[in-house]
């Protein structure tokens, strides 16, 4: 009996491998491999938007292929099934099984979640992944989402972003005052305390708001995605660095009941695919940003500028105040923030003598 079970298991595994590699009809293999699942995934992004919007599409395609068709995921862009900023609630309630977005969109619902996307002047892409996968961050992430019946999985990172597009020059701290800017998360609160007015808008609404003057400035991602939205046609000044998002992590969230219904192999397929997409997105944005920046630099109507040092220094000082208050007023943020900044202190020391030192040497 044991020998027959073993041989049968090998045959099923071989059949699944054949379906994946040869893209054959996997219907019979899927049936032989066990129960099948059909899920819905809602996102915060415009449908099939480059990078961000394609991440959940790629997740669905790869999971279906790797599972031999046993887990199929239908992806809905922001607004197609639920509004872009209601992904968290929809998955938590079990309205859908899965969602894809950024955890800092949950500010006001679960403030500590912001640590898992981006903290201004905080962890970069590679540093954040180090903390999550090897520094204990994932344990804190899962613990934070457990009361909401959610299982979080890192799934994407766009790397250091740009400071944003502005319809006026930023030459001093005074130029921040009265500025209406689309900027989410803690970065928005920092801007407010610097004298600006933060505005929260989903990606699909940014261009029109900037073009019509409803906002004076916006941050979105970087050259790759900004050019896709045509933001360079609505504003002249492009500032860097992206102090507000040094390495924003994206997330896949799964309703806990749906997650628990999966057999161990499908859970592993979803987990591994999400981690693979995190690596893949880093490569995509490294390439896409470089190519798009070259095009933007060739446009005589665009001025690419660094923020003045005094502006960056002010924003950093205010960030420290905002984060300190967040941690003082929210026990979950205090616990997660302590671990986050302890890791930042250690990894920054290495980054200073590795990436930073190398980049400095490369430009001598």
Q: Which domains does the chain have, with CATH numbers?
A: 16-160+247-286 (3.40.190.170), 161-243+302-329 (3.40.190.10)
**Both structure tokens of 170:** 């930023």
pLDDT in tens, 43-100: 999 999 999 999 999 999 999 999 999 999 999 999 999 999 999 999 999 999 999 9
Number of other CB atoms surrounding residue 321 within 10 Å: 12
**How far apart, in whole angstroms, are the C-alpha atoms of residue 224 and residue 158?**
10
Q: Cα–Cα distance between 240 and 224 in angstroms, integer?
A: 14
pLDDT for the residue 33 = 59
pTM of the model: 0.88
* Model pLDDT, residue 303: 98
Coil, strand, or helix at residue 189?
A: helix
The model's confidence at residue 29, banded by pLDDT at 50, 70 and 90, is very low
Total residue count of the chain as it appears in this document? 364
Interval 220-225 mean pLDDT: 97
Report the pLDDT averaged over residues 138-150. 98
Is residue 31 scored above 60 in pLDDT?
no
Residue 282 has pLDDT above 90, yes or no: yes
- pLDDT score, position 314: 98
Could you tell me which of 73, 90, 92, 72 has the C-alpha nearest to residue 81? 90
Give the integer Cα–Cα distance in Å for 183 and 196. Answer: 11
Q: What is the pLDDT of residue 56?
A: 98
- Cα–Cα distance, 115 to 338 (Å, whole number): 11
Of 243, 233, 234, the closest CA to residue 295 belongs to 233
State the pLDDT at residue 159: 96
pLDDT tens-digit series, residues 87-140: 999 999 999 999 999 999 999 999 999 999 999 999 999 999 999 999 999 999
Residue with tokens 């930023």: 170
Is the pLDDT at 287 greater than 90? The verdict is: yes
Q: Strand 98-101 to strand 180-182: parallel, antiparallel, or no bridges (unpaired)?
A: unpaired
User: What angle is formed at CA 43 by the lines to CA 188 and CA 79, rounded to 5 degrees?
Assistant: 90
Tokens of 119: 């903290």
Contacts of 158 (CB under 8 A, 6+ apart): 51, 52, 125, 221, 222, 225, 245, 248, 250, 281, 285
Q: What are phi and psi of 220, to 5 degrees?
A: -135, -85
The kind and range of the H/E element at 350 are helix 331-353
Task: Say what percent of the chain tops pLDDT 70.
Answer: 91
Q: Rounded to the nearest 5°, which phi and psi values hold at 244?
A: -80, -25
Q: What integer is the mean pLDDT of 329-342?
A: 98
- Asked whether the predicted pLDDT for residue 1 surpasses 60, the reply is no
Give phi and psi for 201, each to the nearest 5. -140, 140
Per-residue pLDDT tens over the stretch 246-262: 999 999 999 999 999 99
Nearest Cα to Cα of residue 204 among 236, 231, 170:
231
Q: How far is the C-alpha of 309 from the C-alpha of 364, rounded, in Å?
A: 22
Give the H/E segment covering residue 265: helix 264-297
- CA–CA distance, 128 with 286 (Å, rounded to integer): 17
Calculate the average pLDDT of the chain: 92
pLDDT band at 34 (very low <50, low <70, confident <90, very high): confident
CA max distance for the chain:
79
**CB distance 200 to 188 below 8 Å:** yes
Q: Is the dihedral of CA 254, 258, 261, 266 positive or negative?
A: negative
Least confident of 13-27, 86-100, 217-231, 330-344: 13-27
pLDDT at 6: 36
Of the candidates 289, 292, 271, 293, which has an alpha carbon nearest to the alpha carbon of residue 281? 289
Condensed to tens digits (0 to 9), the pLDDT of residues 164-199 reads 999 999 999 999 999 999 999 999 999 999 999 999
β partners of residue 101: 251
| pLDDT for 15 beyond 70 | no
What is the average pLDDT across 303-321? 98
């Amino acid at each position: 009996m044991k020998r027959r079970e073993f041989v049968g298991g090998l045959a099923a595994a071989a059949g699944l491998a054949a379906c994946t590699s040869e893209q054959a009809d996997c219907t019979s293999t899927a049936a032989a491999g066990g129960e099948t699942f059909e899920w819905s995934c809602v996102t915060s992004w415009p449908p099939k938007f480059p990078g961000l919007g394609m991440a959940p599409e790629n997740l669905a395609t790869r999971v279906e292929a790797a599972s031999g068709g046993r887990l199929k995921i239908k992806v809905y862009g922001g607004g197609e099934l639920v509004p872009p900023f209601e992904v968290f609630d929809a998955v938590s309630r079990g309205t859908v099984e899965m969602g894809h977005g950024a955890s800092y969109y949950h500010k006001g619902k679960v403030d500590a979640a912001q640590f898992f996307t981006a903290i201004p002047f905080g962890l970069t892409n590679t540093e954040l992944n180090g903390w999550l996968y090897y520094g204990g961050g994932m344990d804190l992430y899962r613990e934070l989402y457990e009361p909401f019946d959610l299982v979080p999985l890192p799934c994407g990172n766009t790397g250091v972003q740009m400071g944003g597009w502005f319809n006026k020059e930023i030459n001093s701290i005074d130029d921040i005052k009265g500025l209406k800017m689309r900027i989410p998360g803690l970065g928005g609160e920092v801007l407010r305390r610097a004298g600006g007015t933060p505005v929260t808008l989903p990606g699909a609404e940014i261009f029109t708001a900037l073009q019509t003057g409803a906002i004076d400035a916006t941050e979105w991602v970087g050259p790759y995605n900004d050019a896709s939205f045509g933001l360079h046609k609505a504003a002249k000044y492009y500032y860097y660095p992206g102090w507000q998002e040094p390495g924003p992590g994206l997330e896949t969230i799964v309703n806990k009941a749906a997650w628990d219904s999966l057999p161990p192999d499908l859970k592993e397929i979803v987990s591994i695919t999400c981690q693979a997409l995190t690596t893949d997105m880093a490569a995509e944005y490294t390439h896409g940003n470089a190519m798009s920046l070259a095009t933007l630099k060739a446009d005589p109507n665009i001025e690419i500028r660094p923020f003045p040092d005094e502006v960056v220094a002010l924003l950093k000082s205010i960030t420290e105040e905002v984060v300190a208050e967040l941690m003082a007023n929210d026990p979950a943020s205090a616990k997660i923030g302590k671990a986050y900044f302890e890791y930042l202190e250690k990894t920054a020391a290495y980054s200073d003598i590795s990436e930073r030192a190398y980049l400095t040497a490369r430009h001598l």
